Amino acid sequence: MRLFASLALFALALTSSQAQALEIKNVRPCFGPLGATRTDVQCLPGDVLFVTYDIEGLKFDDKTGKANYLTILELFDNKSKQVFKKETPNEVSSQLGGNRMPGDLHVIMGRNQEPGRYHIRLTVADRLSKETKSTVYSFDLKPQSFGMIGVTAPAVGFPGQHYVCSFAIIDTTLDAKKMPNVEVTMKILDETGQAVTTPIISKLPRDLPADIDLGKENFVPMQFPIYLNRTGRFTIDISAADIAGNKNASLRYPLTVLDLGALNTK
């Protein structure tokens, strides 16, 4: 009996020790803060790669109730050359309890940045426990081409909300007057893949803002607002066609509209 008791205590101590170890978990590329998951991390020059993650196992000071840690963000090119480094000190309280803290990072691609395979190294250094943990996330930067960049698209919404998906169209083919011939279409699909409303179509140059000179910067910011009138699970499907250049780009992500009343039943 004593042997079993000793083994149980040893297993409990081991489990407790493992639970307290510093970890970086749930690394997720997404379309901005609280954004839908980004499944395609083939980035274009000028794009923004936004990544969220969780830090588990932080040590909290017994007196202040705060964790004190440093995050180090490094970016390396395909030759393992460091092209960027940023250190950020953090002092936070666990006001909902637990030892998990959310975090996020973003990398902005230069419009003239060299294409290739890039690597993000995120390091978390817990200043109280003296533990350090790192993780590496890789992505590809493609050569300059027609496409959509800088997408901001929240993953969830609520009935009555004026929801907005925003992005930019870049590197369109221009005619002799420096004008594009582009058509952008947004469809909203239900869980069966059927359209729930008439597609919204934007055409360039018809809908080109008056203050934009594509001869200077081939960059067109765009927004597609959606009034969320009911709950459900939907798919936002956006396609862009550069008719003059015979090129296409697409964006597709899920949107869940939640019922606030159902979430507050207790």
Give residue-wise pLDDT tens across range 24-53: 999 999 999 999 999 999 999 999 999 999
CA dist 67 and 230 (Å) reads: 40
* Percentage of residues in the chain having pLDDT higher than 90: 85
Q: Is 199 left (phi over 0), alpha (psi -120 to 50) or beta?
A: beta
> Is the pLDDT assigned to residue 12 strictly greater than 80?
no
Q: Please report the pLDDT score of residue 210 as a whole number.
A: 87
pLDDT band at 20 (very low <50, low <70, confident <90, very high): low
Q: Around 57, how many Cα atoms within 13 Å sit in the side-chain half-sphere?
A: 19
The dihedral through the CA atoms of 224, 225, 229, 232 has a sign that is positive
pTM, two decimals, is: 0.87
Range with the poorest average pLDDT among 7-11, 79-83, 104-108: 7-11
Q: Please report the pLDDT score of residue 263 as a whole number.
A: 74
pLDDT band at 265 (very low <50, low <70, confident <90, very high): low
Q: Please report the pLDDT score of residue 11 as a whole number.
A: 41
Alpha carbon separation from 29 to 9, 51, 112, 149, 161 (Å, rounded) = 40, 4, 23, 14, 25
Residue 133 has a CB neighbour count (10 Å cut-off) of: 17
> Is the pLDDT assigned to residue 175 strictly greater than 70?
yes
Is residue 203 within 8 A of residue 182, CB to CB? The reply is yes
Domain architecture of the chain: domains with CATH: 23-141 (2.60.40.3880), 147-263 (2.60.40.3880)
